[in-house]
Amino acid sequence: GAVVSQHPSRVICKSGTSVKIECRSLDFQATTMFWYRQFPKQSLMLMATSNEGSKATYEQGVEKDKFLINHASLTLSTLTVTSAHPEDSSFYICSISGAGGPADTQYFGPGTRLTVL
Amino acid sequence: QQQVKQSPQSLIVQKGGISIINCAYENTAFDYFPWYQQFPGKGPALLIAIRPDVSEKKEGRFTISFNKSAKQFSLHIMDSQPGDSATYFCAASGDAGNMLTFGGGTRLMVKP
C-alpha cells in the first residue's frame, strides 16, 4: 500500500496559537486526501475531504475557518488548527486515496497528537 | 446516525483462539468493506477488504465473511496471537466519493 507521512508526530501548544500539520504521500500521487480526528478510545471522525487544487469539503459541525485545509499538490495537504483551544486536543490523522489501488482504498498516515494547554 | 454498527466493543481471546468481530450496515449503496487495524498512538493500517460480489475473502490468518442479504460482515482472526492485540475498525464506502464510514471499533486483547 501507499506510504503516508505526517509531521509533526506530536505537538504541544498554548491556547490561542495556531498549529500546522502536514500530510505527505511519499510514493503515490493522491487525488484525494482526508482529515480525521480521533478522541481517546473512539472511532475516527471525518473532518474534511480535499481534492488537489480545489477547496476542501467539510463535514457538518466542523468549522472551516478554524480548521484550514490546503491541498496544494498531489503529494501534500496541510491542516492548520487556528486559535487552538484545549478542546481541540486530539489525534489528527490524514489519509489518501487514488493511490494506485482501488479508488476507494484509503491509506492512513501515522497521526499527529495535538495537546493544547 | 451511525451507519455501521460494530460489535463487540472489546474482546479478550486466548492465544491460538479465534477472534470474531461483527459489523452491520444500513446503506445498501455501500460496495466496499475494509477492515483496519490500529495500534495505540498509530494510524489505522488496512488489513483486508471485500466487495459484495464474494461472500468470503481470506488473507493469511484473516478472513472476511460477507452476508449481503443480512447487510452484515465479519472479521475472523485465526490462531490469534498477542501481537494481534489492537483496535480493529470495520468501514464501508460506496455512496459518496470514496468516503469511509467507520464502525465504533473493537479493542482486542489476546492473552498469552
Contact call for residues B25 and B32 (beta carbons, < 8 A): no
- The whole-angstrom distance between B6's CA and the closest CA on chain A is 11
B40 contacts chain A (CB < 8 A): no
Q: Which residues contact A50 (CB under 8 A, 6 or more apart)?
A: A32, A33, A34, A35, A56, A57, A69, A70, A71, A77
pLDDT for the residue A55: 87
Cβ–Cβ pairs < 8 A, chains A and B: 58
Mean pLDDT, all residues of chain B: 94
Contact call for residues B34 and A105 (beta carbons, < 8 A): yes
B100 contacts chain A (CB < 8 A): yes
Mean pLDDT, all residues of chain A: 91
Nearest chain B alpha carbon to A97: B98
Average pLDDT of the residues in A53-64: 91
pLDDT class for A1, splitting at 50, 70, 90? confident
- Evaluate if residue A39 carries a pLDDT over 50: yes
The whole-angstrom separation of Cα A108 and Cα A90 is 16
Cis before B52 (ω within 30): no
Q: Is A49 or B2 the better-scoring residue by pLDDT? A: A49
pLDDT for the residue A101: 56
B54 contacts chain A (CB < 8 A): no
Pick A49's closest partner by Cβ from B36, B43, B99: B99
A109 contacts chain B (CB < 8 A): yes
Instruction: Choose the mutation target among A10, A43, A50, A108 for the interface with B, i.e. most B CBs under 10 Å.
Output: A43
- Evaluate if residue A92 carries a pLDDT over 70: yes
Pick A107's closest partner by Cβ from B46, B97, B102: B46
SS (H, E, C) B66-108: EECCCCEEEEEECCCCHHHCEEEEEEEECCCCCCCEECCCEEE
- Evaluate if residue B96 carries a pLDDT over 70: no
A78 contacts chain B (CB < 8 A): no
B24 contacts chain A (CB < 8 A): no
pLDDT class for A2, splitting at 50, 70, 90? confident
- Evaluate if residue A23 carries a pLDDT over 90: yes
User: Among residues of chain B, what percentage have pLDDT more than 90?
Assistant: 84
pLDDT for the residue B1: 47
Average pLDDT of the residues in A76-91: 96
